[in-house]
Every structure is written in structure tokens, then in C-alpha cells.
Chains A and B, each alone.
Chain A
Amino acid sequence: MKDIFKFIPHPIQPFSLKEPMLPLKSGITEDDILSDSLEKNVTRFKEIFHFGLTSDFQIKEMEIHLNQQTYPAAILFFDGLTDTQMISTTLLNPLTKENFYPSSSVLKTLPSQELENALVKHILIQSQVKVISHTKEIITRINHGECALIVDSLAHAILCDVKKIPSRAVNKSENEMTIIGPSESFIEQLRTNTALIRKFIKDENLIFENLTIGAKSKTNCVISYLTNVTNDSLINEVKRRISSIDIDFIIDIGELAQLIEDKTFLLDPLILSTERPDKVASSITEGRVAILLEGSPNVLIVPAIFSDFTHSPEDTYLRHPYAMLLRFFRIPAILLSIFLPGIYIAITTFHQEMIPTDLLLAIAGTREKVPFPMLIELLIMETSFEIIREASIRTPAPVGPTLGIVGTLILGQAIVSASIVSPVLVIIVALTGISAFAIANFSLSYSFRIARFYYIFLGGFFGFFGIALGLFIHMIILSNVSSFGVPYLTPFTPFRKGAFKDDLFIAPLWKQEKRPIFLKPKEQNREPKITRKWMKS
């Protein structure tokens, strides 16, 4: 009786992952073809697609009425990837109603060849119909949203394109905004993206070449180029790198970029990623190659050099003086975003003689109550700034302004009032942060954010000696890197004619006669010597 009130804990069975049961290999090879028995085929596909276990795979069994005979058949498709309305109107309705096909055969039942002809050419009014007998290809096509029709006595499947992959509409570009020029951006649907590019380049030489990546995901990848402009060796290199990737699944183009880039551990990006169709179109016309991936709203452009990351598509849409102004101010923005905190700490710690006396006294006065050394002070501010920036990206839109107020105004004010950092340092960090936002490419700004920390440490420990060391190493590494065979710092090193005209600054549109020489395009000129012929007439 006493035991009733006694707590006896249940023995807890510790959970641990067991060795996985390896799935049975289907053993399907490229040469594996369908049987002419509907039952056998259906059973096989049920096994392959885990029918019953997965809820979206559908098999609809039916009877085809043709020349007063019935033929057992089945259609196989993934619900959600296909347009069910289209299946009803273009497949089920025509197949299940009574059909007549003028046959030369004396037999009541049509021979397999005639049955196939009757179905493909007479009954199915779909524009994209294919007859396939290889099981592996049938599986791939069903996975991509096609519908397979299997008929008894036919050793082929008839594949109809009834895809309706859910996607969003083409929206405004959110990450690469411009004031003037096209605003639309790529979406997750491959074919829409190719159409967006072709909208800008209505040229029969524009090629969209299909490749497949991922042994299991079989993700469609498209490389795009102008066949009469782009260098053949560049196209072949892109194809070689993509087709040699051996991976099970690939989800986003960011993963693909990591798999084909020249240097993994380099800070700076070597492949340009954009969501703007106009930028891609412009790059293709220069002689570059664009890489699109199914399911990704970004497109890769190769090869990419350092100056490409500092340009904005707007530069060519704006009038020349305005574009020059933008490019001119981007140079100090880049330099400030990398070096400013490092130089500040180097000057205030090692080279105070450089600061005019009044300013030096002002800085010393603001630091009077700050208990930390300059390096710690700077690291506190830079880390806080990076955290606020990261948080603002993840914050839901309605809370965003609140975070801005809390992060910048309240925290900034409080941190100075509490004498944790000096006000001059807040100005330095804010200026650095704002300069980083002026960089046109987000990948490059990531690399600058990392480099900034290096320079802070080097400047903090060794002054200008450290910064000289960092700059020497930085430059020597970048000088040695190339993107798809093109030196990364070209046209500055190796120096090419027109470096200042086309890359550091920008020439007027009518003077941009040549395509970038480092791409070695098939056609060097993109416009004649005299573009504005009206001036001569």
C-alpha cells in the first residue's frame, strides 16, 4: 500500500540514431526500357516513386476508347508540379471519350505502332509530346513536372508537358536598386529568367545552352552567351567546370558559384552575382557568359574582375557627368570602407604627429574618460555595428525602423554618454559603415568588412608599418588571382589601355566603342567609330 505513493521513475530509453537502412537500389540504367505490360510498368513506377509513402505522386488508371476497343492505361504525375486543369482538358477528356483512327490493319486491336501514332498525332492535342522508352529519362521528366501516359501493349511512355511550377511574379529588384533604368528582377523560374534576358537581346545569336547539375536533384542549369561575340575557350571552360561537378543536390546558384570559382579562400568574390536582367544582358553583349539555375532568382556572370563589382548598371543609364560623379565618389567610399578605422587607430596610436595640434587635443579630450585602449574601443564599436547590420537584415519589416532607432540613436547616444567609446570613434565607424553601403555589390562589401578587421589589427599593433604589410599582402594576393583565366585586377595590373576611361571612370556612351579587351571577344568593336551619325549628316 505504501508503494502506491512511492514515485517510481519509468526507465528512459535513450534515443540514438541507428545505422541507416540503405534503400534498395533500383538498378535502373540508361538502357533500361519499359515493358509492354501496363501492370508491370505501373508496379515498377509505384516502387520507384514510393507510391503510398509520398502523398503528391499520383497514378490515375483509366481506359482509352479507340475504334470501339478499350485499352487499359495510366497517367503518372506529381500533383502540384503539374496543371491538373490542363491534364483534364488535354489528356483525360480526349483519351476517355470514344475516338476513331483510320487504320490499315485488319485486326480489331491496333498494332502498337499504329496505337502510338493514333495517340500522339490524333488524340493528344498537346504541343509538347514526346515518346520515350528509357525508364531513367521518364523518371527525370516526371520529376520535372511532366505527365507520363503508359498504355498496355506499348513499350513506350508518352510524356506530355503539363508543368505548372509554383512561382512568384516578376517583381522590382530589391537588392540592387537604381533610380533610373529597368527595375525588374529575376525570379525562381528558369524559363521566365531566360525570357527576361531575351527581352533585352533580341538576337538569333543569343544562346541558352542546357546543362544538368546534381546526380539526384537533376537541376537544370542554363549558360547564356552570344555565339558571335563570346570567346569559345571561355564558353568551353564554363561548360567544363559545370559539367564536371559531381554532387547529389544543388539548391541555389550561390552553391554553384562556390563550386566553380577559382579560389575558395580568397576574400574577394570572383564571380558576379546579380538579380538584374539588364545587367546580365549588358554583360552578355560585352562577351561574358551568364549562368542561370532553376529555382534561383540570381544569375552568375563570368569572368568578373575587381572593377565590375564597383560598377552599377545605372552608370550607363545616367548622363555622362552624373555617372562620372558617381564613379568618382565610389573610389573614396571603397578606400574609406576598408582603411578608415585601421588608419585612424594607426595615426592615433603611433603617428600622432600627423594630426594637427588642435584636433589632437580635441580627440584626446573626448577620450579622457574612456577606460579602454583604442583597439578595444574600435572593436566594440565595429562589432556592435556589424551586429546591428546583421539584425536589421533578419528583422521583420514592421520592426525594422524600431531597430534602427534603438541600434543607432539610443545605443549610439548611450555608449558615448557612458564613456565606453569616444564620440570621434562613433563618427569614424559611422562614416565607414555608410561608405560600405556605397559599394554597388554586396559580396564585395562582405570582403571589405573582413579586410577592415585585418587592417584594424595591423594598424593597432604596428601602425603604418602594419598597414603597409597588409596592403602589400592584399595586393600581391589579388594580383595573382584570376577569374576564368582573366587576371582579377586587370586592366590596372596587367595594365591595359583604357583602364581609366572604362573602369576607373566611364567614357561617354558614344565613346565606348570597344568591348573589354581582356575578354578577347570574337568581335572587338561594339559600335562604329562614329556612333552618332546625325552629327555628320
Chain B
Amino acid sequence: MKIETSEFICTIGCVGIIPLVLTIPTFNAQTYGTGAMAHTLYSFLMNAIILFLLFHLYFQFSNQDIIDISEYVGGSFLKILTTVLASVYLITSAVLVLVEFNENIRNILFQNAPSDYIYLIFLVGLVIGVFHGLKGVFRAATIFAPLILMSLIFMFLSLYQDIDITNFTPIFGNDMFLFWKDALKIEFFEGMLLILLLGNTLKNPKKAAIWSYLFIAFIILLITVLLYGIIPYPSITENYFPFFELSRLMSFGRFWQRVESLYTFIWLIAVYIYISIGTSYTVFLLSKVCHLNFGYRIAPLISLLVISLARFFVSYPDIIHTRKFLTNYITPYVALGYPLVILLLATIKKRSQIHETNS
């Protein structure tokens, strides 16, 4: 069964707000200072170029996913290596999102509850989500994405008058060299790399790539303008859940105030989709590579693994440090560089084969 373009775009939209809600805007503010907004726009451009290059190479093999392409390039060894890298990366991302959210939810809602209590609730959703497979998660995301988009637009309408444009200046922030250097950071568009993993299960990969890019860019623009425009530079660096603070500022007359809980509800749904996608895809990969006929049976096991790994993180600074490390040093190489190399090698191999056949 193919994944519809609308399903993919909506899922990427749901997944795309996770970096926004979590610490990424804070990291950017810490690194680029007042230039965080301008750097976001710069990253839109740079990411568009990188993704265009990546997908341009990939669409030559659009009937295959990156695992199949790896096998084509380097046989079983590369296939297994890619599978392991993809699985580890997906699980690590899911674990970090889970840990960070767990901490934040505990601070907001259940101050006195042990973290295991919250993990248990996440586990229930995760097991059921993974058990129903990728298709179910993608379809459910189609229902939730309009809800998320509406809530963000509503937030923008409620807060846009508080934006202070002077908060965006000086536009290059603290360090101009740093500003230009980080072109490979792809944290906001990380979800789009799923196209490489979904391969021929997507109905129209080209359309999905273009529209999901535009959809995420719209969401990010909407919210980063609010974040950096309302919370001034030094303040935002001290806040590890800035989006929550932003939702607390919302007010529509006397009745519509303090609606941050509603936003917590929406982010929770986005988190469920994020962790379910990551874990489901890992289950799917393992079923594919290990030739398991009933892959869904290992769903509870992988879900338990995710929750167990999450429990290793005990302090919030540890979580922040690991996320920073993943964003700055792992994602550009594993999620972007590695597939790019594989695709380049595959293209060269394909062309040489064509050349040999012709000659």
C-alpha cells in the first residue's frame, strides 16, 4: 500500500514542529545571538539547495530506498551498515525527544510524579502506534496536522502585535563567521529525509518533497518570527522550552487566556507521531533486512527498548548536551553526508554501467 502525498506532507508537518517546540531555537539563539532569525532564513536557503541536490540524485533511483541503493553500491555489507546507522539514528532521535518531553511534561504537569510514571503513559501510546505500523501513523497524522497548523496560526494571530523587529538586529548576531559556517545544519528539515527511507512506498516522492519543504518552512517561519521577535536575545538563551513560554503569553480578551495546556496537548500528539514514526520505521527496517514475516510482533520489544534507553538520561543538562551533540556533529554526517556519499557512488556506478552497456 502506497503512502499518499497528503499523508506524507501532514506527517512531516507534525514531525517538523518538534525541533521548534524543544531546544533548537534556544541553541540557535545561544550560537547566533540576535542573528538567529536571519540564520533561520539562511538555513532555509541552504537546506533547500542541499535537499535539492540530495533528492535530485535520489530520484534517479526512486523505486528503491536508501537501503536498496546501499546494497546496489556495496552489497550486503553496506546494506547492513546503512540499516544499522538508520535504525540507531532513528531510535536515538526518538529517545532524545522522549526524554526531553518527559522532563518538560513533568515540570509543567506532574511535578511530584516519578519520571517512570510518564514514561509508562508514553509507552502505551508508542506500543499501539508502532503496532499499527507506518501506514496507521501516517494516516493519523493527516487528521492531526490541520489541528496543529490551525493552532500555530491562531498563536501567530494572537501574538503578532507583540513582535519587536529590533530584536532581529544586528542581523548577523554575535559572530559573522559562525553565521555563515553552519550551512549543513538540517535540524528543521530532518523529517524530510524520511523520503530516502520510504522509497517506492511514496505515491509521488517529488511532489511530497516540494510540498513538505514548503509546509515546514511556513510553520518554522511563523513560529521563529514570534519566538525571536517577542522573546529578546538574552532571555531566550535561558529558556529551554521557549515555545511553552510563548503560548503562555497568548490572550484573546478576558476569556481566552492561559491556554498553554491546549498547546501542550497539541505538542504531545506531535511527539506521539514523532516517536511512533521513528520506532515504526526501525521495526520496518529490521523486518525487511531480517526477512521477518510478522514484523509487528517485535513492535512492543523495540518500543520497550526506546523507553529503556530513555531512562538512562537522568539529568536535564545531560539531555541538552546530547541533543546539542547530535544536532551539531551527528545529524550533518549521518543523516545528510552519508546518504549523499551513497547516492553519489550509486550514480557513478549506474552511469559507468550504462557507459559499459553502450560501448
Contact = CB atoms under 8 A, between A and B. Distances in A.
Interface residues of B, number: 37
B139 A493 contact: yes
B311 interface: no
A350 B260 CA distance: 12
A507 to B, nearest CB: 20
A467 B269 CA distance: 10
Nearest to B265: A464
B272 interface: yes
A106 B242 CA distance: 111
A356 B257 contact: yes
B45 interface: no
A65 to B, nearest CB: 72
Q: Which of A356, A476, A492 has the most CB of B within 10 A?
A: A476
Contacts of B140: 472, 475-476, 479, 493
Contacts of B143: 475, 479, 489, 492-493
B100 interface: no
B109 interface: yes
A535 B130 CA distance: 55
A357 to B, nearest CB: 9
A480 interface: yes
Given A354-B261, A476-B132, A462 B139 contact: no
B136 A479 contact: yes
A424 interface: no
A480 B132 contact: yes
B136 A492 contact: no
Interface in B267-286: 268-269, 272-273, 276
Contacts of A277: none
B262 A464 contact: yes
A469 interface: yes
A469 B258 contact: no
Contacts of A287: none
A467 B255 CA distance: 22
Nearest to B127: A473
A303 interface: no
Contacts of B136: 476-477, 479-480
A269 interface: no
B122 to A, nearest CB: 8
B254 interface: yes
Nearest to B7: A494
Interface string B124-163: 1100110011011101101110000000000000000000
A476 B254 CA distance: 36
Interface in B307-342: none
Nearest to B259: A354
Contact of A468 (B118, B142, B268): B268
Q: Which of A350, A468, A472 has the most CB of B within 10 A?
A: A472
Given A492-B142, A493-B143, A468 B128 contact: no
B137 A465 contact: no
A493 B142 contact: yes
B272 A468 contact: yes
B257 A493 contact: no
Contact of A472 (B125, B255, B259): B125
A341 interface: no
A471 interface: yes
Contact of B142 (A350, A464, A473, A494): A494
A94 B4 CA distance: 71
Contacts, number: 98
Chain A interface, DSSP helix/strand/loop, else mixed:
helix
A463 interface: yes
Chain A, interface size category, equals 20 to 34
Contact of B255 (A356, A465, A495): A356
B354 interface: no
A358 to B, nearest CB: 9
A76 B133 CA distance: 61
Nearest to B6: A495
Interface in B50-89: none
Contacts of A521: none
B132 A353 contact: no
A241 interface: no
Nearest to A490: B139
A145 interface: no
B264 interface: yes
Contacts of A476: 128-129, 132, 136-137, 139-140, 276
A354 B262 contact: yes
A470 B71 CA distance: 41
Given A465-B121, A476-B140, A479-B136, A494 B268 contact: no
Interface in A316-362: 347, 350-351, 353-354, 356
A460 interface: no
A467 B124 contact: no
B344 interface: no
B245 to A, nearest CB: 14
Contacts of B272: 468-469, 472
Contacts of B125: 469, 472-473
Q: Which of A464, A475, A487 has the most CB of B within 10 A?
A: A475
A479 B3 CA distance: 13
Interface string B102-124: 00010001100000001001001
A466 interface: yes
B346 to A, nearest CB: 31
A288 B139 CA distance: 24
Given A356-B255, A462-B121, A472-B125, A480 B139 contact: yes
Contacts of B109: 350, 463-465
Interface in A439-482: 462-469, 471-473, 475-477, 479-480
A320 to B, nearest CB: 25
A494 B4 contact: yes
Contact of A494 (B6, B110, B128, B133): B6
Interface in A479-528: 479-480, 487, 489, 492-495
A356 B256 CA distance: 8
A43 to B, nearest CB: 59
B60 to A, nearest CB: 28
Interface in A27-51: none
A464 B264 contact: yes
Contacts of A469: 121, 124-125, 268, 272
Interface in A390-422: none
Contacts of A473: 124-125, 128-129
A356 to B, nearest CB: 6
Contacts of B129: 472-473, 476
B52 to A, nearest CB: 26
Given A464-B264, A477-B128, 16 more contacts: A353-B258, A353-B261, A356-B257, A463-B109, A465-B118, A465-B268, A467-B265, A469-B272, A472-B269, A473-B124, A475-B144, A476-B136, A479-B142, A480-B136, A492-B143, A494-B4
Interface of B: 4, 6-7, 105, 109-110, 118, 121, 124-125, 128-129, 132-133, 135-137, 139-140, 142-144, 254-255, 257-262, 264-265, 268-269, 272-273, 276
Give 5 nearest A-B pairs by CB, closest first.
A479-B139, A493-B142, A468-B268, A351-B261, A480-B136
11 contacts: A356-B254, A465-B264, A472-B140, A473-B124, A476-B132, A479-B143, A492-B142, A493-B142, A494-B139, A495-B6, A495-B7
